[in-house]
Amino acid sequence: MKYSYAALALSALAFAAPAPAAVEDCDETVPAVQQPAVQHPAYQAPPVALPSPIPSNDANCPKVECPAGGDKKAANFPIKFTSTFSIVATPDQVVNGTNVPTGGLEGAVGYYDFGLNSDLNLICYNITLVGVTGAYQSPADTATHIHQSALGRSGPPRIAFPNPTIVEGSNIRQSVGCLSGPFVTGIEAADNVTDTGSASGFTIAAIEANPSAFNADVHTADAVPGAVRGQFGAPLSS
């Protein structure tokens, strides 16, 4: 079921060394020297690390290599990004549909790293949410978005990302992959017909043209207007 943006605005990571063969020296035979076995430590999975900004010449996963949900890394598939962004999303930046600050979800934080290629209308993402609780809740196709709106203002979603999944045994949720246009959000514009994604004229180039007019957020049942939100700033590279 599709919803209008207007309605949304109102609701809110033993080997034993082989013994050397005996060596003959003249008439004497030197006995083989037995080396002690090297004890290797057991492998332990590395702790979950917060993401670093996406390198400007590397991509986690182009859409054509990703399964549904876009969370598989595709090695050896470099993409030239035209810009990269790193956003820290916090509860205090969340506003509802009438631009009133809600406080978001206390204690939560979101790390959104993006690599953009405006020539391909493509965005790669590395999203890590910490301390975000509650089931995802949004009338859009997913609850993890890029919206077009200035700081302190509400605005329509332009991209709907696969929702980050819980890292077992932690309070961390992660989602990694790439999406390319046309983008569909599942939310209708004011005409109650046109999707607020690509059908409304949105392209990746729009973010590069005016980054501060866009933000990233996530919505859950514990904070329907938004758990955390972060405004785009100057690109890390371009």
pLDDT in tens, 93-118: 999 999 999 999 999 999 999 999 99
What per-residue confidence (pLDDT) applies to 84?
96
What the block records as the tokens of 123 is 């965005």
- 218 contacts 143 by C-beta, under 8 angstroms: yes
Look up the pTM and report it.
Answer: 0.69
Per-domain residue ranges for the chain? 50-231
**Which helix (H) or strand (E) element contains residue 111?**
strand 109-117
What per-residue confidence (pLDDT) applies to 10?
41
**Higher local confidence (pLDDT), 8 or 238:** 238
**Residue recorded with tokens 């060394």:** 17
Handedness of CA 157, 161, 163, 169 (dihedral sign): negative
3-state SS assignment for residue 131: coil
